[in-house]
């Protein structure tokens, strides 16, 4: 089967490319390398350096004719979306529309869309949040991801395109960029290993559902060939405060740096945690990597850089 992965040189996308190739699929990677890295590219994949907003995308999809597209290319930084909502919308909404139009016109059967459970629900009312929780995103990033889901619903109903949406928790692990993708685990791990002081935003009591990248890849594999058009949370159902996360990383890195707090950031939720019973029931997926193990693997990766 031929699979296209947009954002395939990025953090999650590159791990997914590796997994598809391991399964014997033909893989095409589309990435403009604005945040993705050449070193993440699998040599067995066909690579096109192109922005998903580009008119070139049509020619690429017309040539390659992917049966399935895994869409991970995106503006991923919540804070950047707050600073520049228009830039976020161009990438995450207009880029998606361009991609899906090309896909529909060239026979793509299915799209798996990387959405955000961490940003779409807004300040949660119930914990953990199931997929039918109200959606009141507090950032332009969350709004653009929710808009993407609505556009895919339209293309599914009007054009017959199969769509699966995965609402990720806070994904972490090897290859996460501590500079470009705003991943707190990567930021803390790199700073602590270098002996540099990390700053916790606000009081550090904000919670997130941290899910390891290997588990996220397996969630993608679980839904890639499903016929169902549906939306699934991908997380652990466990809340972890930023303070708890920092303490874990202090211990793993054997750092004696103290806990320093800075001002709160606009657009950040207070609590986030995802219910994953639906994907377990429908696709038999559940997370297997505990937080401590995943953090140890991530720190080991940064030590080797």
Catalytic positions, written as ranges = 141
Residue 197 · residue 89 · CB < 8 Å: no
**What burial letters (b/e) apply to 220-235, b meaning 16+ CB within 10 Å?**
bbbbbeeeebbbbbbb
Residue 211 · residue 287 · CB < 8 Å: yes
Structure tokens at 264: 């709160």
Number of C-beta neighbours around residue 204 at 10 A? 18
Structure tokens at 206: 């904000």
Residue 102 · residue 52 · CB < 8 Å: no
- How many whole angstroms from its chain centre is CA 17? 14
Residue 92 · residue 120 · CB < 8 Å: no
DSSP state of 253: H
């Amino acid at each position: 089967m031929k699979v296209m992965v947009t954002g395939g040189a990025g953090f999650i996308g590159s791990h997914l490319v590796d997994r598809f190739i391991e399964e014997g699929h033909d893989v095409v990677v589309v990435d403009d390398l604005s945040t993705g890295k050449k070193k993440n590219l699998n040599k067995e994949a066909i690579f096109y350096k192109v922005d998903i907003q580009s008119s070139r995308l049509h020619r690429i999809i017309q040539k390659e004719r992917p049966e399935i597209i895994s869409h991970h290319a995106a503006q991923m930084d919540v804070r950047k979306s707050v600073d520049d909502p228009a830039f976020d919308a161009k990438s995450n909404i207009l880029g998606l529309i361009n991609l899906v139009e090309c896909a529909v016109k060239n026979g793509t059967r299915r799209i798996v869309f990387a959405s955000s459970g961490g940003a779409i629900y807004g300040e949660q009312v119930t914990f953990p949040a199931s997929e039918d929780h109200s959606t009141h995103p507090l950032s332009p990033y969350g709004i653009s991801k929710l808009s993407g889901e609505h556009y895919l619903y339209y293309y599914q109903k009007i054009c017959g395109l199969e769509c699966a949406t995965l609402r990720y928790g806070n994904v972490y692990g090897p290859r996460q960029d501590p500079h470009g993708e705003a991943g707190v685990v990567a930021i803390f791990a790199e700073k602590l290993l270098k002996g540099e002081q990390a700053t916790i935003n606000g009081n550090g009591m904000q919670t997130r559902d941290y899910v390891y990248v290997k588990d996220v890849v397996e969630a993608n594999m679980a839904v890639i060939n499903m016929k169902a058009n549906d939306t699934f949370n991908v997380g652990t159902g466990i809340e972890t405060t930023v303070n708890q996360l920092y303490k874990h990383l202090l211990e793993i890195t054997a750092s004696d740096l103290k806990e320093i707090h800075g001002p709160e950031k606009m657009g950040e939720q207070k609590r986030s945690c995802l219910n994953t019973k639906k994907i377990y029931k429908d696709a038999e997926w559940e997370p297997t990597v505990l937080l401590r193990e995943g953090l140890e693997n991530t720190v080991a990766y940064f030590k080797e850089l």
